[in-house]
Amino acid sequence: MAQTLAQATHHELIIKKSRFICCVQPMADRASAQAYVDSLWQEHPSAAHVCWALLAGGQSAAVDDGEPSGTAGRPMLEVLRHQELEGVLATVVRYFGGVKLGAGGLVRAYTDAVAQALLKAEKVPLQRMEVLQCSLPYAMEGWLRRELELAGATLRNVAHQSMVHLQWSIPQSLSAELIARINEGGQGRIAWLEHWPDSANSD
């Protein structure tokens, strides 16, 4: 089963006077990863490089940030893959110490920085989420909201039109039981939606 990280974990290496400051952390998508990398540049304006790797399904990335091609981002990504992680960002801030490490030395440095940080990181099973949506009469909205709360679902969208539209996310492992309970309690008045209606603007 794929795993992610419980929280951010840091590790620092010094190799031939160069500092490699690594952080591994849970991260859902590339936009969030890029925002975090931008914040690292503000925090470390005199760094030589901020290299990073994101393993997050179709949004994965490997960025060398000026290091020789293939010596930073790709090796970092391979460490994440090897440990069967998902939804994880690894970043390494490098301060150049004046001694060139060569391609092999760089690959080892970036690989080690991430591997050492992951040794200290707490790994947790990754819960695959499912998004569900339905419409129902106004009189049943309170009941459905209570059912969602009891099931541990996260409400994402609500729109009030001729009917109430609700959209929520829930771990896949719990969705079948919740659907059965809603169908039973809804007594035929719940309409499941494949797509969020274009006309249904969120409240």
Q: What is the pLDDT of residue 202?
A: 61
Report the distance separating Cα 69 and Cα 152, nearest Å.
45
Q: Using the predicted structure, report yes or no on whether residue 160 has a pLDDT greater than 60.
A: yes
Share of the chain above pLDDT 90, in %: 79
**Into which CATH architecture does domain 3-125 fall?**
2-Layer Sandwich (3.30)
Per-residue DSSP letter, 2: -
Tally Cβ neighbours within 10 Å of residue 104.
9
Is 129-192 in CATH node 3.30.70.240? yes
pLDDT, average across residues 126-149? 91
Query: Which pLDDT belongs to residue 128?
Result: 76
Q: What percent of the chain has pLDDT over 70?
A: 97
pLDDT score at 198: 72
pLDDT (average), residues 118-140: 90
Encode pLDDT of 88-124 as tens digits.
999 999 999 999 999 999 999 999 999 999 999 999 8
* pLDDT confidence of residue 194: 87
- What's the pLDDT score for residue 126? 79
Task: Give the pLDDT of residue 66.
Answer: 96
- Going across the sheet that includes 129-136, the strands are 154-160, 164-171, 129-136, 191-192
Residue 190 above 80 pLDDT? Answer: yes
- Asked whether the predicted pLDDT for residue 59 surpasses 80, the reply is yes
Mean pLDDT of 3-30: 95
Segments making up each domain of the chain, as ranges? 3-125, 129-192
Residues 64, 66: Cα–Cα separation, whole Å: 6
CA 43, CA 94: separation in Å to the nearest integer? 13
What's the CA gap between 200 and 65, in Å, rounded? 42
At residue 201 the predicted structure's pLDDT band, cuts being 50, 70 and 90, is low
pLDDT for res 203: 57
Distance between CA atoms of residues 86 and 96, nearest Å = 30
Which residue, among 16, 50, 46, has the nearest Cα to 33 in the 3D structure? 50
pLDDT of residue 196: 82
